[in-house]
Amino acid sequence: MAAPWEDVLRDRAAIQEAAAVAVDAALLQGVLMRTEGQPNASDVVNFAPFTLLPSPVPRALFEQAYAVQQDFNMLVDAISQNKEFLEHTLASTIKVDDFTAQLFRIYTQVLEEGLAQSVFLGINRSDYMFDSGVDGSPALKQIEINTIAASFGGLTSRTVAVHGQVLKVLGKPQEASRLLPNNPSRGLALGIAKAWELYGSPSAVVMFLVEEVQRNIFDQRCVENELWNRDIRVIRKRFRDVFEKGSLDEARRLYMDGQEVAVVYYREGYVPSNYNEQNWEARLLLERSRAVKCPDIATQLAGTKKVQQELSRPGTLERLLPGHAEAVSRIRATFAGLYSLDMGAEGDRAAAMAIADPDRFVLKPQREGGGNNLYGEELRQVLEKIRDSPQRTSYILMDKIKPRPAMNYLLRAHSPLQVSECISELGIFGVYVRQGSELVLSEAAGHLLRTKAVEHADGGVAAGVAVLDTPYLV
């Protein structure tokens, strides 16, 4: 799976010139992040890390990932409406995982009270790697689906121009012209705008719920600006603002600082560290409201690793998507091997199998965001410690995917320019809007390619491991 610029990788002078051009192009295009030293100030910024060159991606697998995205939209939406499935699937997890249990408590409380929300907005990102398999031919295998705060739809809209410029500087104008246009931020904004419109109050605002530390603000601003361009007013608030100033009226309309909120778009709230007692109170207030939550709590639960593992069981997809046999087969074709660690004979077998051969597997907790998974010796040690404890049910076990590496340069601020052996992960953004029982919008909204050096097992761009990239279809 070689790219047509292998010859250039050995020309040190050409690479150094191209890297200087690339950094300036990234700054010019707005591929930006705030600095670690001043994470809440925009008067000192730097370029977000990215690859010098686009990475080769098999065309057939890229097209397969796009083709299955609407099926995944439909699946996530179906799971979010299936209380019985969520209760059954998460029963063991909520006994040992406090975070999932707290989400589940809010979910049940809101259902018992009766949903005020009638319009539902899903923005997800399904992430894949290219497994080289036994015979060496690459296959598309899903790593996970992110149903909350799926990021980098904004910055990845701007990397195509940077990589196009680099290829031209390196004397590859024809290759530059083959890079695909990509603008997920427009697609995400389209979904938010549709939900806002269906909410039906032209004076209401869209609220971005954001973290206390906002290094990745420019990624969010790309989506935000698309909404402003549609004359939709956007406010940015944190959980503590909601706790202090949020209120519901008798119709359970949500108000912030006297402004009615039509859509709450979460860019926070996906890991335990995002919450304290006040923040949980704020989350409950938001969930009880009529505002369109992206995601509502049921959709966040649909993205848990335990649900991912349950979906791989024979017959589960058929029960969730009756009458959609072709969608089921397209979805199932992307699954890697997934194994339950529930208490009992099946879980015992999976634990023993992983302890005996830890390099074959990944141990995944119920967490979004990079940097949580366990591999190799660390996986073995953790599993040996918890193999006879119910604590093991807070994890799932997955086959380790083995992609074929390619050579590239990873550009980071204040880092030396050196060639690395790299692997990539492809994410496809999905957006859907449901009103009542009718799906009024469902589409694939663009893609994200992230690349990291092979020595880093886990972690994304925000975690400081992977960098932004552009696919070059081969």
- The DSSP string of 102-166 is HHHHHHHHHHHH-----EEEEEEEEEEEEE-TTTS--EEEEEEEE-S----TTGGGGHHHHHHHH
Residues 278, 378, single domain; the answer is no
Average model confidence (pLDDT) for the chain?
94
Determine the pLDDT at residue 370: 60
**Is 369 one of the annotated active-site residues of the chain?**
yes
What's the rounded Cα separation, in Å, for the pair 149 and 131?
A: 26
Question: Could you confirm whether 305 is annotated as catalytic?
Answer: yes
**Of 385, 400, 415, the domain-final residue:** 400
**Torsion angle (degrees, nearest 10) of CA 107, 112, 116, 119:** 50
β-partners of residue 209 are: 237, 266
Are 431 and 472 a contacting pair, CB within 8 Å? no
Same domain, 324 and 344: no
User: Looking at the domain assignment, is residue 71 inside a domain?
Assistant: yes
Q: Residue 362 maps to which CATH number?
A: 3.30.1490.50
pLDDT of 369 strictly over 60: no
d(CA 260, CA 201): 8
CA 427, CA 155: separation in Å to the nearest integer?
14
Note whether 223 and 310 are same-domain residues: yes
Marked catalytic residue, from 122, 144, 158, 312? 144
Last residue of a domain, one of 368, 385, 400: 400
What are the start-end ranges of the H helices in 362-467?
Answer: 376-386
384 is catalytic: no
pLDDT, tens digit, 9 for 90 and up, residues 21-70: 999 999 999 999 999 999 999 999 999 999 999 999 999 999 999 999 99
What are the tens digits of pLDDT across the range 264-288? 999 999 999 999 999 999 999 999 9
**Cβ neighbours around 26 below 10 Å, total:** 26
Closest to 309 measured CA to CA, from 389, 425, 427, 397: 397
Q: Give yes or no: residues 329 and 345 share one domain.
A: no
pLDDT of residue 165: 98
User: Is residue 1 assigned to a domain?
Assistant: no
Instruction: Tell me the DSSP string of 59-83.
Output: HHHHHHHHHTHHHHHHHHHHHHT-H
The reply to whether 239 and 362 lie within a common domain is no
User: Rg of the chain over CA atoms, in angstroms?
Assistant: 22
Mark whether 151 is an active-site residue.
yes
Residues 6+ apart with CB under 8 A from 101: 93, 94, 95
Q: Which amino acid is at 410?
A: L
450 counts as catalytic: yes
- 321 with 388, same domain? no
Q: Does the pLDDT at position 459 exceed 80?
A: no
Number of structural domains in the chain: 2
Per-residue pLDDT, 109 = 98
What's the CA gap between 451 and 65, in Å, rounded?
Answer: 17
Q: Which of 80, 151, 157, 340 is catalytic?
A: 151
Q: Which of 224, 287, 310, 368 is catalytic?
A: 368
What is the per-residue DSSP string for 447-460? EEEEEEETT--S--
Structural domain ending residue among the three candidates 361, 384, 400: 400
pLDDT at 80: 98
For residue 206, with 0-12 CB atoms within 10 Å meaning exposed, 13-18 middle and 19 or more buried, which class applies? buried
- Given a cut of 90, is residue 10 above it in pLDDT? no
Q: What's the rounded Cα separation, in Å, for the pair 400 and 208?
A: 35
DSSP 7: G
Question: Whole-model pTM?
Answer: 0.94
DSSP assignment, residue 20? H
Give the span between the Cα atoms of 413 and 49, in whole angstroms: 7
Does residue 173 lie in a domain region? Answer: yes
What residue numbers bound the domain in which 33 lies?
6-336+401-473
Is 263 in contact with 192 (CB distance < 8 Å)?
Answer: yes
In a domain, 86, yes or no: yes
**Structure confidence at residue 458 as a pLDDT band (50, 70, 90):** low
Residue among 423, 443, 422, 421 at smallest CA distance from 432: 443
Give the mean model confidence (pLDDT) for residues 439-455: 96
Confidence (pLDDT) at 4: 82
Are 358 and 239 found together in one domain? no
Same domain, 304 and 349: no
Dist. CA 32–CA 123, nearest whole Å: 23
Q: Is 414 a member of any domain?
A: yes
Q: Which of 303, 450, 452, 460 is catalytic?
A: 450
- The pLDDT, as a whole number, for residue 6 is 83
Task: Please identify which of the residues 126, 146, 340, 424 carries the catalytic annotation.
Answer: 146
- Residue 428 shares a structural domain with residue 445: yes
Q: Do residue 213 and residue 360 come from a single domain? A: no
Examine the domain organization and report whether 407 and 393 are in the same domain.
Answer: no
- Annotated catalytic residue within 125, 253, 290, 452: 125
What is the pLDDT confidence band of residue 464, given thresholds at 50, 70 and 90?
low
Q: Which two tokens stand for residue 105?
A: 């408590």
Whether 228 and 360 map to the same domain: the answer is no
Structural domain includes residue 40? yes
Sign of CA dihedral 373, 379, 384, 388: positive
Identify the CA nearest to 55 among candidates 471, 474, 413. Answer: 471
